[in-house]
Amino acid sequence: MLNTMTAVQSIGDNMNDKLPQVPEVTTGLPRRRFMNTAALAGLGIGLAACNQKTEGAATAPASAPAAAGHADAAAPAGVHPRPGELDTYYGLWSGGHTGDVRVLGMPSGRELLRIPVFNPDALVGWGITNESKAVMGTKADGSLRYTVADTHHVHASYKDGNYDGRYAWVNDKINSRMARIRLDYFVCDKITQLPNVQGFHGIFPDKRDPVKAEINYTTRVFAGGEFGIPLDGKATDDGSKYRSLFTCVDAETMEVRWQVLLDGNCDLVATSYDGKLAASNQYNTEMGVHYEDMMSAERDSCVFFNVARIEEAVKAGNFKTYGGSKVPVVDGTKAANKDPKTALTAYVSVPKNPHGVNASPDGKYFICAGKLSPTATVIELTKVLDWFDGKLEKLDQAIVAEVEIGLGPLHTAFDGRGNAYTTLFLDSQVVKWNVEKAIAFTKGDKSAKYVVDRLDVHYQPGHLNASQSETMAADGKFLAVGCKFSKDRFLPVGPLHAENEQIIDISGDKMVLLADHPVRGEPHDFVFFKRDLVKPKQVYALDESPIAVKDPKDSGVFRNGKKVTVKLTSQAPAFSMREFKVKKGDIVTLILTNLDKVEDLTHGFAIPTYNVNFIVNPLETKSVTFTADHEGVFWCYCTHFCHALHLEMRSRMIVEA
C-alpha cells in the first residue's frame, strides 16, 4: 500500500512547489518531481526512469499552482437538478468487488440503479432465478459456478464514432469473464468465459468493423490478459513458461473469435476510430513473477494489433490451440513479427510500467500514462499504420510526444478541444494539458506551454473520464474522477473508508471542483454520455419470454412425476392463486408473470425458508426451481411495494408430507 500520508501531505506542504520553469531535466529534482521510495510502499526500489531522459522527453513548462476549486464556485446549470429535473447524462460505473455495474445520473452523481452481473443479488433475484443462473453459469448440480467477481472496466458500443445505446461490456478480473449489458432494459444478458487467460483486466469495443468498411458500428470487443500462466494448464513455478494472451470476442454472439500470443502482458485496451487497430499498454514486458522483476526494464510497451491481418491469419489456418479450447491463437510475439509488411503486432516503446492507454476524440492519437515515470507518451496512429505498410523505418518514430506532466500519471480523458486530462496518483491531482502543444514542445518549441491547469483532488486519483470523452462527440463539460482514498472527506465509519468520486466542471479554462460523492469500494472505470443516446424500455414485451403465463386462467399446478410446475401471475394487489399445494420431495419450478402494464409497477415474490426471493417488472416473466424438502405452510409474499394493499398481497405454499 502506498504511503498515502506522505503523498497527501505533499499537496498541503507547499502548494506552489510545482514543476519548475526549466527546459531540461536537472540532477537535483524538486520534491514534487521526485518519485520518492516512501510513496512506493517501502518497495525499496529506486525508479531510475525518473532520473533518465528519453529522446523527445523534456520537463514540463511552467504552470500555475493547483487551483483550489470547490463547489461554491460558479457552476454550470443542471449540476444540482431541482426536484423533478432530470440529469443530462447517463453514467455507467464498474462496481468493483460487488460484481455489478452502477448507473448514475450525471452530473448530479445520483445513483439510479445497480445492475447485477457477476455476483448474486437478492433484490432482483440475480443468481436465484433460472434465467439469471443460465446467464451466470452453473455447475452440474445447478449451483452457481462463481459467486465472487471483480469488475474493473465498463465500456459501451459505438456507431459512427459515438455511443449508440445498444450494449455495454464489463470484465470480471478474478474469473476472466466478460459480460454484456443490454441498455434497453439495463440488464445483463450474456457472460462469456475467456479460455487460456487469467487476470483479464482491460476491455474495449471496436468503433467500426476493421474488414468491412460499410459496417460503422461495434462488432468486436477486445480483452487484455494480465497474468501470465502456463498454457498447458500444468503446475510449475518456472515463470519462463508463463504467457499472456489478447482476446477478441464477437459483440453479438459473445463467442471468442481469436486470441494472440504475446511477449509480456496486457493492462488496459484502446481501439482506433477506423477499426484497424487495437492496443494494450504493457507494464510487465519482463513477464516477471515478483514485483522487483516486473520493474527491471527501463521501458515497456504499448502493443498494437492489426486486426484485419490477424483475422486473415486465422482464416488461413495459421494458428494453434491450447488445452481443451478450440479458440484459434495466432503468434503475436516479437520474434514472429519482425517484418512490418506481414506483422500482426507492433510493440511501441513507452516508459516503464505504464498504466492506461486512451484514444483521443480526433482519432489521431493513443496516449499512454507513465505511472512510474512522470510522463505521458503520445503515439500517432497513422505512423503505426505506416510501419505496418513498411513506410516507417523505426516503429518508435510513431511517438510524437513524451512530456512530463506530474507524479504518478495513470489515466487520461479528453474534452474535444484538444486538451487531455490525466490523473496524477502521487500528486493527488488532475492535470490538464494540450496534446498539440506537447507535440510542439517535443519537436523543440520550448515556448509551448502544454500544461494548462492543475486541480487538487482528494485523494490519490485512479480512473477518470469526461462527458462523451472517448467519442468523436466529446463535449468537454464535466469530468468525473475516482479517488482511491477519502481520508477526511466524510464521516468515519470504522476502518473501511468510503472511496471518493468527484465531479469537476471543465467547460472553462480552469477546472472547478463541484462535488464529492462517497462510494462503496472498490469501483474502477466508468463512462458517461448524453441521455438521448439511450432509449430505455419501461415495460417488458410479454412475448419475450417463451414461458410467460399470459392469462391468470392459465395458472395452476402441473405434475409430471416428482417434477412440478407452478404457474402464477401477479396483478396488484393479488397473485393469481391464493394457495397451491406440492408434496415433500417434489422438484418445483415456479413461473411468475407480472401482468401489470403500468410503468414502475414491480412485484416481488419470496418464499420463507426456501431461499427464494426475486422481482418481476411489468410484463416480465421469471422462474425459480427448488426442492420442496420440508413440509409446512409457507406464506409467499410480495417483497416490492406495489399497492395500498401490498401487505395483503400473498399466497400460501403448502408442502404436504
Q: What is the DSSP string of 182-250?
A: ETTTTEEEEEEEPTT-EEEEEEEE-SS-SS-TT--B--EEEEEEEE-EETT------GGGEE-EEEEEE
User: What is the rounded CA–CA span in Å between residue 587 and residue 595?
Assistant: 26
Residues 322-369: tens digit of each pLDDT: 989 999 999 999 999 999 999 999 999 999 999 999 999 999 999 999
Q: How far apart are the first and last CA of the chain?
A: 58
Exposed / middle / buried, residue 536 (Cβ in 10 Å: 0-12, 13-18, 19+): middle
pLDDT at residue 291 in the model: 84
Distance CA 232, CA 241 (A): 9
Which residues of the chain carry a pLDDT beneath 70? Answer: 1-78
Rounded CA gap, 169 and 154, in Å?
5
pLDDT in the model for residue 62: 40
CB 609, CB 595: distance < 8 Å: no
Q: Are 375 and 33 in contact (CB under 8 A)?
A: no
Phi, psi of 378 (to 5 degrees): -105, 120
> How many angstroms from the chain centroid is the CA of residue 295?
25
Query: What local confidence, expressed as pLDDT, does residue 78 receive?
Result: 53
346: left (phi over 0), alpha (psi -120 to 50) or beta: beta
Q: How far apart are alpha carbons 215 and 207 in whole angstroms?
A: 10
Half-sphere exposure of 570 (CA within 13 A, CB side): 36
Q: In 3-state terms, what secondary structure has residue 532?
A: helix
Q: Whole-model pTM above 0.85?
A: yes
